[in-house]
Structure 1
Amino acid sequence: MATNRASVPRSAAVSKGYNFASSWEQNAPMTEQQQAAIVALSHAVAERPFPAKPDNLSGECNGMSVSTKHSNMEESGDIKAVLVNTNQFYNWFIDLEAAMKSETEEKYQHYVSTLTERIQTCNNILQQVDETLDLFDDLQLQHQAVATKTKTLHDACDRLLIEKQRLIEFAESLRSKLNYFDELENVANSFYSPTMNVANENFLPLLKRLDECISYVESNPQYAESGVYLVKFRQLQSRALSMIRTHISSVLKNTTSQVQAAMLNSGGSKASVSEGVEASIIYVRFKAAASELKPVLEEIESRSQRREYVQILADCHRLYCEHRLSLIKDIVQQRISVFSKKEALPSLTRSGCAYLMQVCQLEHQLFDHFFPSSSEDISSLAPLIDPLCTYLYDTLRPKLIHETNIDTLCELVEILKVEVLGEQLSRRSESLAGLRPTLDRILADVHERLTFRARTHIRDEIANYIPFDEDLDYPAKLEQSAELKSEVISDNRSADVSKFWYPPLEKTVSCLSKLYQCLEQEVFTGLAQEAVEVCSISIQKASKLIMKRSSHMDGQLFLIKHLLILREQIAPFDIEFSVTHKELDFSHLLDHLRRILRGQASLFDWSRSTSLARTLSPRVLESQIDAKKELEKNLKATCEEFIMSVTKLLVDPMLSFVTKVTAVKAALSSGTQNPKLESVMARPLKDHAFAKPATVAEIVQKVSAALQQELPRVMEKMKLYLQNSSTRTILFKPIKTNIVEAHIQVQKLLESEYSSEELKGVIDMVSIHDLQAQLDSLL
């Protein structure tokens, strides 16, 4: 039965169930406890009992029907049925087999049904899952759509927020811009209010707001009706500035009236008020007014970059200066007038400048209280300072014009240039800067007058000087000078040697010494060149007169002496004595006109040099005159002339003898056509009449006598005229050289033409060594 049971083919349900179980086993493994339970259960059902004996077993042979009853196999371990025939057996077996099959498959069927139910459930679940997944997909699509819409909505919201913020900012910006235009009505109502004035605490803030509105409208002309608003704003600004101008003028006018009344009460007249009272009244009360106007004036100065405020500030400066000038002009004018009546021109200049500087310093300090930011600009106080300076200038100008004394004019230059401009004005330059133009103008007038007087002095006192007899009394004048010097030396007093100079020389040196520090270098150079030139000419004229009056040598030494003094005195002046003169030369016009009249040139030939333009155009001739070089040239020529005249005075016989000898030798060397004359010339030199030993001895004696008699007198004159020994040595050196050279030439001629007996016995010429010793002893 086991074999039959084993050979029973498996049904499809069993296979499906097995496969499902295997798959289930793989997909859902059991734990060890679960496996142990299954093993125990399999052992329990391993042995199955036979089925029970059927209650009624009937069968027919023909029908072979068997009915069996199954009993509980568990109650009996064996089969208790009684089988009659094979048919019954087979029926029973079939029934048994069916029962076994049914029993065997029951759990599988149950399992299958369970699985089927579960599969159905799973299928339902899967279907539900699919439906759920489909729902999830739809939900995801919907989520994506919602997310997209949400993002779009967020972006739209962000854009709307940005747009809202931009619109808010635009609205605020528009409102801020419109505020400038809306302020027109507010500011206008405030400014036109009957209670509004400059002293009102809201005035300055309103003015500041008005300036801001004007600046904004000016910088944005593209806005609609900006031009209309700008005109209206400017009208309000003009009204406000007019109120300020009126207020400042009123305060200054009231203060001025108070000061004038106080001055009248204290002194009777403004000009007679004492300085202490004057300072307390004029300045202290105005300082109080400055405190009252300070807020308004500070606002005006802080906005001085704007054109409108520049004008109102200038008006305030003008009003201030007008009121201050009305107070102090009579006082200043009266003080300067008092100085003018009591003091000379230098003292008047010094006192007037000192007083004017004091007034200007006080006025500058007071002005600084009113306008602290504008006080550095000297032009601000010009309407006040210039009239005050004009009083001093108008007082000094007529006196300067009539001043002829060069010393006084030089003193004025020193006062203005050194004391006033150099010391006082430079020390207080900021507060006194307004005085400089007037002081420079006065100094320029003094320079001009000094230059004119210097030229007049050079022309009248130097160039056109007419000497007196005592001016030309040389050498007697020098002898008096020597006596005076000896007396001065014995009395230990200093002597003024310049009074023994020729007057034009003394005037020239004195004039240049005074002008050197007073005039500008260019002006002084021209004057110095002119003065030196005319002085040199004047000295030369005087030298010629002295030559006629005394002697030729006195005239020469006089000229050398004074030219040396002039050169020495102008040496310290650090200037160039050269001046370039330009003049127009029309001398060529006459020649051109003659050529035109002759037809040799055309008047209208513009292409040639003889054209009308060239004919009528003058030539510009430039000539440079250096007075110092001319002086050196004249001095050199005079010294050379003096050296030659002294040389001729001393050794002229020897020079004539040497000349004759030279002429004879020249005639012999050139030959002659006259035989008689040639025979005469061919004779020995000592046979000629001019060269006989006795004649030569006479020549030597004359020269020796001149050296012993005339040369000492020449040296005495040189000592009298030239006190400097080095100068005399320099001047005498070429004279000595000429004397010695003349003796050397004569001695060589004598040694070549005469015998030693004639030389020693007849001629007896001094030796060169003794001659040099004799000449050296004279120095």
Structure 2
Amino acid sequence: MASHSPPTPPKSNLPRPEAVSRGYNFASTWEQNAPLTEQQQAAIQALAHAVAERPFPSNLSQDTISMQEHGLSISTKHSASEDSGVIDISLVNTNQFYNWFTELEAAMKSETEEKYQHYVTTLRERIQTCDGILRQVDETLELFNELQLQHQAVANKTKTLHDACDRLVMEKQRLIEFAESLHNKLNYFDELENVAASFYSPNMNVGSENFLPMLKRLDECISYVESNPQYAECSVYLVKFRQLQSRALGMIRSYVFTVLKAASSQVQTALRTSGGNKAAVSEGVEASLIYVRFKAAANELKPVLEEIESRKPRKKYAQMLAECHKLYCEQRLSLVRGIVQQRITEVSKKEALPPLTRYGCSYLMQVCHLEHQLFDHFFPSSSDDISSLAPLIDPLCTYLYDTLRPKLIHETNLDVLCDLVDILKVEVLGEQGTRNEEQLAGLRPTLDRILADVHERLTFRARTYIRDEIANYLPLDEDLNYPAKLEQFANANPESTDAEQNPDVFKTWYPPLEKTISCLSKLYRSLEQTVFTGLAQEAVEICSSSIQKASKLITKKSSVMDGQLFLIKHLLILREQIAPFDIEFSITHKELDFSHLLEHLRRILRGQASLFDWSRSTGLARTLSPRVLESQIDAKKELEKSLKVTCEEFIMSVTKLVVDPMLSFATKVTAVKFALSSGNQNQTGNSAIAKPLKDHAFATPEKVAELVKKVSDAIQQELPKVMTKLKLYLQNPSTRGILFKPIKTNIVEAHIQVQSLLKSEYVHEDIQSVLSMISIPDLETQLDNFL
């Protein structure tokens, strides 16, 4: 069987116009934009599967096809539904087969072509329909594009219009704001006419309800114009506004003066009608009239004064407030001055200086308290400033000062002056000042001034007192009657000789000492520490000198020992009495020394130096400049020094009184030994044998026994007298013990020295038979018994 290639299906020569491609593009776009659901896709797949298996044409039914080696036999049997006949075709050769196949193929093509032709026809119809639709879509797209362009153009125009509208709205808002701002700014300038018309109106007065709001508006206009000097004609408006403000403040001043003057007149009229004269008005009625009735005027002035005080930071209103304070103080002073003067004058005629000072200060403090309360009612925001009431308080205080000063100048008593200091410092400034500190603030300058005058007068009188009563004191005979004065006091007061137990012991003191201690005790709490230190140093120095002078007079009148004990007694008392004063008695004195100027002037006159040579030390400035010499004097140390020297002199005098023979004997022995030692050193060759001490005339056993007896008698007779006198002058046992201790030591040492010489220079027989002396322990016991 010969092979042959399968027939090639006929190619379709149908053209594919542009509309078809657009259709396919549209379809693909449609497929993308409108995807099928799963159900629709399943239906399409089922349709495709059904179409894939096409049946044979109905006119062909191939039951058996047999081919033999020498020929091809095809028999076709139709189904029973069609022709019942059987077509038997015998194919002998290849040509017949090809013919038969061609016919079969043509039949099959005809059968299938009809179907596909119909499908092609349908597709062409649909393509045409799609082309129409695509043309419509193209037109629609073109219209849509055109519409889109138009929409974009409209949107652009709308946006432009919207932006323009927004700009216009913003510009309108800015213009409105600018207009409002301009209107607000112009309001301050436009107010000039309104305010001027109001203030120059005949019906406008301070009591009107429109006055204070109009004044407030005027202040706002002035503040605005002052803060914006860059505006045109700003200075002109500012001047006009200030003129109106000055007019308004002038109206306020006149109004305040009128109200205060009316209140003052009412009070004065009430005072005249209630008592006939000021003297007949009691203090209670007086306070009611002067303070209570005057307070009623504050209710009328309160709104205006509060407005002025609230604007006190501004200069004009601060000046106005000060004017109101001044007007108030003037009216109050016209009411109070006469009464205060009359009260102080009446008391000054009856009372001494201390009671007058106490009453005057107390009365003025009461007046200040009441005035401060009344002022606080008028000016609540200004009451803390004490200077506001100064025009009222100062004249009242000045009258008290003028009343006290003449009396103070003529006062010479230190006690009175010290009482004044206590009254001012303790009672007035201390106790009352602590309780009424605010009310006392206005009175304090005058009180300080009075206290300063009292201090000055007290200092002057203290110096005068120290000069007259201490430095220039002329002692009387009874002042120097020692020890008789002490003996009389001891007989009158046998049990009490201490100053703490018996105050009369001060009568035994030398008067300058008593005056010094009394003066310093008074001044210690009355003067400032620096002033008191200078006075104390001067007083102690002068008192010590006065006591030393009196000691010399007593020495001439009584005895040396009385003079010494008098000096020791009073120096000890002075030292003891100044110890409680917590001050330094050391004072530095500065003096100008011009002694070097003489040599400079001589050199200038000799031509050795020039007066105008400023480059050297001989220049005019240095030549005429004095030297400052400083010297420090410590009165307390000088007192200690004088006391120490006096005690040493007393100790030596008592020692010599008791053991002077022994001291002379020891001195002679020392001289002899020194002479012998010097002679032996000067000898050459054989030295001479020195004569024994007992062979000298002054050192014979008889002489030594005599001096020992003299010393023993002095201890038994003279030393008790000394101790009696010592007890008479020095009442303190410890003081006597301190002073007697070195005396005892000197006596014991003199005995030890003599006993030592006896043991070294005399034989034992002489010592036992002739030179028997008291033992040192017995001597010490005997001396201790004197205390």
* Contact 1:488–1:495 (8 Å) recurs in 2: no
| Partner residue of 1:615 out of 607, 616, 623 | 623
Shift of residue 37, structure 1, vs aligned partner: 14
- Say which of 226, 234, 240 aligns to 2:242: 234
1:210-289 superposed matches below 5 A: 210-289=218-297
Q: Indicate yes or no: 2:452 matched with 1:441.
A: no
Deviation at 1:127, TM superposition (A): 2.8
Could you tell me which of 534, 537, 552 is aligned with 2:545? Answer: 537
Give the drift of 1:506: 0.3
State the one-letter code of the partner of 2:640. E
Which secondary structure does the structure 2 equivalent of 1:434 belong to? coil
Deviation of the 1:156 alpha carbon: 3.6
Partner of residue 53, structure 1: none
Amino acid at match of 1:456: T
| Contact 1:654/1:700, CA 8 A, preserved across alignment | yes
Report the TM-score when normalising by structure 2: 0.85
Partner of 1:399: 407
Among candidates 297, 307, 320, match of residue 315 of structure 2: 307
The offset of 1:616, in angstroms, is: 2.3
Gapped runs of 5+ residues in structure 1?
Answer: 1-5, 49-75, 79-96
| CA pair 330-150 structure 1, distance change in 2 beyond 3 A | same
Do residues 209 (structure 1) and 217 (structure 2) align? Answer: yes
**Residue of structure 2 in register with 1:732 after alignment:** 740
Given that 1:14 and 1:108 are in contact with CA atoms closer than 8 Å, whether structure 2 keeps it comes out as no
Alignment map for 1:145-156 (pairs within 5 Å): 145-156=153-164
CA 1:334/1:44 → structure 2, altered by over 3 Å: closer, same or farther?
same
Distance apart, 1:123 and its partner CA: 2.1
Residue 412 (1) aligns with residue 420 (2): yes
Match of 1:660 in 2: 668
Deviates more, 1:176-185 or 1:594-603: 594-603
- Report what 2:529 is aligned to: 521
8 Å Cα contact 1:580/1:622 also seen in 2? yes
- Whole-angstrom CA distance in 2 between matches of 1:598 and 1:33: 153
Percent of residue pairs identical: 76
Amino acid at match of 1:429: E
1:755 aligned partner: 763
- Structure-2 change in CA distance of 1:361 and 1:590 (3 Å): same
Alignment of 1:458-477 (within 5 A): 458-477=466-485
CA distance in 1, matches of 2:266, 2:689: 120
Distance 1:621 1:213 in 2: 70
TM-aligned CA distance change 1:43 to 1:773, over 3 Å: closer
After TM superposition, give the deviation of residue 268 of structure 1 in Å.
2.0
Q: Does 1:586 align with 2:605?
A: no
Pairing of 1:98-117 with structure 2 (within 5 A): 112=120, 114-117=122-125
- The corresponding residue for 1:51 is none
Q: Distance in 1 between matches of 2:377 and 2:439?
A: 13
How do 1:423-572 residues align onto structure 2 when only pairs under 5 Å count? 423-486=431-494, 494-572=502-580
Matching residue's letter, 2:732: N
User: What's the secondary structure of 1:774's corresponding residue?
Assistant: helix
Q: Deviations over 1:267-296 (max 9, x none)?
A: 223344221221121112211100111111
Partner of 2:341: 333
**2:226 alignment partner, SS class:** helix
Task: Name the amino acid aligned to 1:189.
Answer: A
Given the superposition, is the C-alpha separation of residues 229 and 45 from structure 1 closer, same or farther in structure 2, using an over 3 Å criterion?
Answer: farther
1:347-377 CA-to-partner distances (Å, cap 9, x unmatched) read 1011111111111111111111100111111
The answer to whether the Cα contact below 8 Å between 1:381 and 1:434 also exists between their aligned partners in 2 is: yes
- The CA deviation at 1:103 is 10
Matched ranges for 1:143-222 at <5 A: 143-222=151-230
Write out per-residue CA displacement over residues 154-190 of structure 1, whole angstroms, 9 at most, x where no aligned residue.
Answer: 3443343333333333332222222222222222221
| Contact map agreement 1:474 1:554 (CA 8 A) in 2 | yes
Distance in 2, Cα, partners of 1:496 & 1:607: 71
Shift of 1:125: 2.5
Once the 2 structures are TM-superposed, how far is the Cα of residue 140 of structure 1 from its aligned partner? 3.1
* Aligned mates of 1:7, 1:368 — CA distance in 2: 136
Q: Distance in 2 between matches of 1:416 and 1:8?
A: 151
Separation in structure 2 between the aligned mates of residue 197 and residue 15 of structure 1, nearest angstrom = 114
Shift of 1:648: 1.3
Task: State the one-letter code of the partner of 1:422.
Answer: G
CA distance in 2, matches of 1:666, 1:11: 181
Q: For residues 733 and 615 of structure 2, what CA distance do their matches in structure 1 show?
A: 68
User: Any idea what the Cα deviations from partners look like across 1:519-562, whole Å, max 9, x if unmatched?
Assistant: 11111111111111101011011001110110000000000000
Deviation at 1:625, TM superposition (A): 0.9
For residues 628 and 449 of structure 1, the distance between their equivalents in structure 2, rounded to whole angstroms, comes to 27
Task: Verify the 8 A CA contact 2:382 2:388 in the aligned structure 1.
Answer: yes
Please name the residue that 2:137 is paired with. Answer: 129
1:17-28 matches, cutoff 5 A: none
Q: Distance in 2 between matches of 1:334 and 1:750?
A: 96
Residues 386 and 441 in structure 2, CA contact (< 8 A), matched pair in contact too? yes
What is residue 318 of structure 1 aligned with on the other side?
A: 326
Mapped contact 1:271–1:330 kept (Cα < 8 A): no
Between stretches 308-317 and 686-695, larger displacement belongs to 686-695
Shift of 1:44: 13
Match of 2:640? 632
Query: Residue 386 of structure 2 is aligned with which of 371, 378, 395?
Result: 378
Question: Following the alignment from structure 1 to structure 2, what is the Cα–Cα distance between the partners of residues 658 and 100?
Answer: 191
CA distance in 2, matches of 1:738, 1:362: 78
Question: How many Å separate the matches in 2 of 1:391 and 1:768?
Answer: 81
Tell me the distance in 1 between the aligned counterparts of 2:211 and 2:496.
87
What SS does structure 1 have at the residue aligned with 2:442? helix
Q: Deviations over 1:368-405 (max 9, x none)?
A: 11001111111000000000101111000000000000
- Is 2:710 aligned against 1:702? yes
Counterpart-to-counterpart distance in 1, 2:734 and 2:245: 88
Deviation at 1:567, TM superposition (A): 0.5
**How many pairs align?**
722
Q: CA–CA distance in 2 between the matches of 1:587 and 1:38?
A: 156
CA contact (8 A) 2:612 2:619 kept: yes
Task: Give yes or no for contact 2:659–2:711 (8 Å, CA) kept in 1.
Answer: yes
Q: How does 1:38-77 map to 2 (within 5 A)?
A: 46=58
Give the Cα–Cα distance (whole angstroms) in 2 for the partners of residues 37 and 674 of structure 1: 178
- Counterparts of 1:560 and 1:30, CA distance in 2: 150
Distance 1:345 1:31, change over 3 A: same
Partner-residue secondary structure (3-state), 2:204: coil
What does residue 66 of structure 1 align with? none
Kindly indicate whether the alpha-carbon contact (under 8 Å) linking 1:658 and 1:746 is maintained by their aligned counterparts in 2: yes
Counterparts in 2 of 1:462 and 1:160: CA distance versus 1, 3 Å: same
CA contact (8 A) 1:13 1:112 kept: no
Q: Quick check: 1:389–1:438 contact (8 Å CA) kept in 2? A: yes
Cα-to-partner distance string for 1:557-587 (whole Å, 9 max, x where unaligned) = 0000000000100111111111111011122
Supply the distance in 2 between the matched residues of 1:32 and 1:323 (Cα, whole angstroms).
123
What residue is the counterpart of 1:67 in the other structure? none
**C-alpha spacing 1:8/1:709, structure 2 compared with 1 (3 Å):** closer
Residue among 575, 580, 585 paired with 2:583: 575
Give the partner amino acid of 2:12.
Answer: A
8 Å contact 2:730–2:736 — kept in the other structure?
Answer: yes
Corresponding residue for 2:126? 118
Task: Give distance in 1, aligned partners of 2:291 and 2:338.
Answer: 16
Q: 1:596 to 1:659 in 2, by over 3 A?
A: farther
Query: What RMSD over aligned residues (CA atoms) do the two structures have, in Å?
Result: 3.4
Contact 2:497–2:505 (8 Å) recurs in 1: no
Instruction: Measure the CA separation in 1 of the matches of 2:687 and 2:701.
Output: 21
> Distance in 2 between the 1:44 and 1:416 partners?
153
**Contact conserved, 1:650 with 1:706, CA < 8 A, in 2?**
yes
Q: Is the 1:654–1:699 Cα contact (8 Å) retained in structure 2?
A: yes
Q: CA deviation at 1:515?
A: 0.8
Shift in Å at residue 47 of structure 1?
5.3
**Cα pair distance change 1:16/1:140, threshold 3 Å:** closer
Secondary structure in structure 1 of the residue aligned to 2:591: strand
Q: How far 1:708 sits from its partner (Å)?
A: 1.5
Q: In 2 relative to 1, CA 619–681 (structure 1 residues): closer, same or farther, beyond 3 Å?
A: farther
